[in-house]
Amino acid sequence: MAPLRKSQRSNRSGTATRGADRSHLLTERRNHRTKDIDTKDILEIVDIINKEDTKVSAAVRKERKNIARAVKLIVKSFKNGGRLFYVGAGTSGRLGILDASEMPPTFGTQPGLVQGIIAGGRKAVFRSVEGVEDSRSDAAEAIRRAGVRNRDTVVGIAAGGTTPFVQSAVKTAGKIGAGTVFLTCNPETRPETTVDVIIRPVTGPEVITGSTRMKAGTATKLVLNTLTTAAMIRTGRVYGNLMVDLRATNNKLIDRSERIIMELTGLSRRAAKGLLEKAHGETKTAIVMHLLETSYTDTRKRLSLYGGSLRGTLESYS
């Protein structure tokens, strides 16, 4: 592992040295293709940004094997009763929180299964809190406060790869014995400690120099989407390409749940609605109740025997 440059090291207080020179980082370099973007008309600006964005998918694809390795870690954590934690600062932290918050309504998970930790805490989600990303001690405390255990997986997200808060969080998680993943969009930076997986979609210099909320942020969102979606599929929360573990908690999700039930059972909309009510809004449970002609209580027991997998439950009783 390459050592950090002197300018990247922290001082004794646990806070990164102020004014550290990051000009060598690819994500901080000027993009020669956009140097005169301020002289363009609006449509030209839109086209320039769009052209740069087309590079993101290819960068993520190059990391497909590392992404798959990270998914295996996360699946192992879930199957062993562990959790997934995202850790980041600024845009990276917000993207982690966004992905985590979407798991309960989409896949019916408990809120604590996937969690986001952001430098500066809750207030930093909505407004930038200056300086908090430089505190290593705050990161270590956040990991301990979250109760991270050796059965969990921690994904540190840092577009530039130098964020002290993220580096410290990953290091602390590793000492606990948790699975560790480091996600960065820079080819030059490394985690300060040994990690299980490094995911490195290299998206190049940004349209606006250093604005990693753009291409790097888009790449990060794509990676996080893949990590959780693939993990949910592998842990039985998807049947075919249907989100059968969703909970019908609002009108949109009620409609989607009813349509899924109709698709898999052949029932009418009215019958699907009644069945969903009997299943307490649990789509997967409703499907099994109808296809196996079982009660709500019995269905829940059967699903539990097969790890909550709809496919496993149906195939075992076919």
- Catalytic residue numbers, as ranges: 102, 133
**Beta carbons of 212 and 91 less than 8 angstroms apart:** yes
Residue type, 150: N
In whole angstroms, give the CA distance from residue 294 to residue 277.
15
The DSSP letter of residue 84 is E
Nearest CA to 119 out of 141, 139, 143, 145 is that of 139
Give the side-chain half-sphere CA count within 13 A for 105. 12
Q: CA-based angle 243:245:251, to the nearest 5? A: 75
Q: Which of 95, 86, 198 is nearest to 142 (CA)?
A: 86
Half-sphere exposure of 211 (CA within 13 A, CB side): 9
Helix crossing, 136-145 with 164-176: angle to 10°?
40
